A and B are shown apart, each in its own frame.
Chain A
Amino acid sequence: MANIKELKKKIKSTKGTLKITQAMKLVSAAKLNKAQQAIQTTRPYATELEDTIKTVSALVQNYEHEYLKEDVENKKAALLVISANKGLCGGYNSQLAKKVRQFLGETDLDVKVYFIGKKVRDLIKTEVNEGKFYTFEKQDASFLEIQEVGKELAELFKTGEVGKVLVAYNIFESAIAFTPTVSQLLPMSLDEQVKAELQEKFPFDFKYDPNPKEILDTLIPESFSTSLWTAQLDANAAEHGSRMSAMDSAVRNCKDAIRSQTLTMNKLRQAAITTELIEVVSGAESLNA
C-alpha cells in the first residue's frame, strides 16, 4: 500500500501531465481549424478540375498525354507516403503504416517508397525499398515545395523509370475520423465504364477554345500537382484532428487518475487519523482505570 507522501507526489506529477496535454489539445485545435479551412477551400477546386479533365478527355478522341499513358509491362512503382513528423497523435501514423504494409503485401509491383514525414518512415523503413526522404524548410510544406516533389516523381514516370506513381496518406473526414488510403496519381487512367457513362451523359461535345489538346495539356499537369497538394493538406488536417482527439482522451485519463489517487489518499489519511484517535482515547482510558 502506498503511503500518503508518495501519493501526494504522484498527484502532483499527474497534474503536470494534465496541464501539458490540455495545452497540446488547445494548440492542435487551433492548428486543426486552419488546416481544415485549407483543405475545405482547396477541395472544390480539385474536384472541379478532375471533373473537367475526365469529361473532356472522355469526349475528345485520339488524345494522348504522357500522364495518361499506361505501361502494363513496367512493374516498377513509386509510392509517396505522407505522414507526420511528430508522434502523440493516436493511431495516425501506425494506421497509415499498417495500410502501407498491407498494400505492399498484396501488390505484385516492385515498389520504391518515398517519404514525407519521418514517423511512418521510422516505422517501416527496414522492411521496404527506401527511396528519397523529403524534408521542408518549415514544419509544413508549401505549395511550391510540394510542386517540386511532384516534378521529381513525374520525371521518374516520364522517363519510364517507374510505371506508376502512388500516394499513401490519411484522408481527413472529420476532427475525429480519418481514413488511410493508397491512391494512384499516375497514370491518370480513366475507367472505360466511367468513360462510357460520361459519353452518355454528354451526348454533345463541348466547344473548345483554342482546342481540346491545348487545354488538356495545361490541365493535366495542373491536376497532378493539385492532387498531390490536396493529399498533403488532407494529411495535415487529419494529423491535427487525430492529435486533438488523442490529447482529449489523455486529458480525460489524467483527470480520472487524479480523482482516484486523491480518493485513495483521503482514505489513507482518514484511516491514519482514526488510528491516532483510537490510540489517544485508549491511552486516556487506561490512565482513568
Chain B
Amino acid sequence: MNNYTVDILTPSKIVAKGIPAESLLVPTVRGQINVLKDHTHIVSKLGTGIVTVFGGEDDPDRYFSVTTGVCKVLDNKVIILANTSEEDHEIDVQRAKEALKHAQEQLQSSLSDEELTKYRRKVERAQLRVQLASYKG
C-alpha cells in the first residue's frame, strides 16, 4: 500500500522524486520523527542523520543521508529540502572512511574556532556516510 510520496531535493541534485512510502523516519534537530499517512501539517528543521523511507509491501525500503535542511509534510506529500543528500548505494565507502580519517586528524591539530566547526561538521558527515553505507549489508 502506497500511502504518500516523498521528495528529497538538494541545491545540486534531485535525489528522489515522488517515491512511494508507507512510513518515514526523519531526523529533526530535536530527535527522530516518524511520519505516517495523514500526518498533520508540519514544518520541521532537520539535523544531520539518516532518512529512512519504508516502502511497505510493494516497494523497497530506501535509506538517504541528509545534512541540515527542512522537512515539510502537507497533504500526504513529504518534501525534504536538504543541503546535501545521498542514497546509500551512491556512497563510496572507501572515500568516506578516508575523509573521516582526514577530518579527525585535522581536529587533533590546533585550530581556530571557525575551522573547528568546519571539521566537526566534516567528521559528522563522514561518520554518517560510513554508517549509512554499512546499512547495505
Which residue numbers of A lie inside 8 Å of B, CB to CB? 38, 41-42, 44-46, 48-49, 52, 56, 143, 202, 204-210, 212, 214-215, 218-219, 226, 229
Which residue numbers of B lie inside 8 Å of A, CB to CB? 7, 9-14, 17, 28-30, 33, 40-45, 68, 70, 72, 74, 79, 81
Q: A214 CA to B79 CA in the complex, in Å?
A: 19
Q: A210 CA to B13 CA in the complex, in Å?
A: 27
Q: A42 CA to B45 CA in the complex, in Å?
A: 20
Question: Are B9 and A44 in contact, CB atoms less than 8 angstroms apart?
Answer: yes
List residues of chain A with CB within 8 A of the CB of B17: 44
Q: A46 CA to B12 CA in the complex, in Å?
A: 10
With beta carbons under 8 angstroms apart, the residue of B13, B42, B68 that contacts A206 is: B42
A-B residue pairs, 6 tightest by C-beta:
A209-B44, A45-B9, A207-B42, A206-B41, A206-B43, A41-B14
List residues of chain A with CB within 8 A of the CB of B7: 44, 48
List residues of chain A with CB within 8 A of the CB of B68: 218
Question: Are A226 and B42 in contact, CB atoms less than 8 angstroms apart?
Answer: no
List residues of chain A with CB within 8 A of the CB of B42: 206-209
Question: Are B79 and A210 in contact, CB atoms less than 8 angstroms apart?
Answer: no
* Least CB distance, A111 to chain B, in whole angstroms: 29
Question: Are A209 and B9 in contact, CB atoms less than 8 angstroms apart?
Answer: no
List residues of chain B with CB within 8 A of the CB of A42: 11-12
Number of A-B contacts (CB under 8 A): 68
List residues of chain B with CB within 8 A of the CB of A202: 41
Question: Are A49 and B81 in contact, CB atoms less than 8 angstroms apart?
Answer: yes
Interface SS of chain B: helix, strand, loop or mixed?
strand
Question: Are A143 and B45 in contact, CB atoms less than 8 angstroms apart?
Answer: no
**Known: A210-B29, A214-B45, A215-B70. Contact between A48 and B79, CB under 8 A?**
yes
The winner among A202, A205, A209 for most chain B CB atoms within 10 A is A209
* Least CB distance, B113 to chain A, in whole angstroms: 18
List residues of chain A with CB within 8 A of the CB of B41: 202, 204-207
List residues of chain B with CB within 8 A of the CB of A208: 42-44
24 examples of A-B residue contacts, CB within 8 angstroms = A41-B12, A44-B7, A44-B9, A45-B11, A45-B81, A48-B72, A48-B79, A49-B81, A52-B79, A143-B12, A202-B41, A206-B43, A206-B74, A209-B30, A209-B42, A209-B43, A209-B44, A210-B29, A210-B30, A210-B45, A215-B70, A218-B68, A226-B11, A229-B11
> Closest A-chain residue to B82, C-beta based?
A45
> Closest B-chain residue to A38, C-beta based?
B12
Q: A38 CA to B7 CA in the complex, in Å?
A: 18
Question: Are B28 and A209 in contact, CB atoms less than 8 angstroms apart?
Answer: yes
> Closest B-chain residue to A230, C-beta based?
B11
Q: A206 CA to B70 CA in the complex, in Å?
A: 13
* Least CB distance, A4 to chain B, in whole angstroms: 58
Seed contacts A56-B43, A207-B40, A207-B42; 7 additional CB < 8 Å A-B pairs: A42-B11, A42-B12, A204-B41, A206-B41, A206-B43, A207-B41, A207-B43
* Least CB distance, B53 to chain A, in whole angstroms: 18
* Least CB distance, B11 to chain A, in whole angstroms: 5
List residues of chain A with CB within 8 A of the CB of B70: 52, 215, 218-219
The winner among B14, B17, B33, B81 for most chain A CB atoms within 10 A is B81
Q: A212 CA to B40 CA in the complex, in Å?
A: 16
With beta carbons under 8 angstroms apart, the residue of B10, B33, B45 that contacts A218 is: B45
Q: A286 CA to B31 CA in the complex, in Å?
A: 113
List residues of chain B with CB within 8 A of the CB of A226: 11
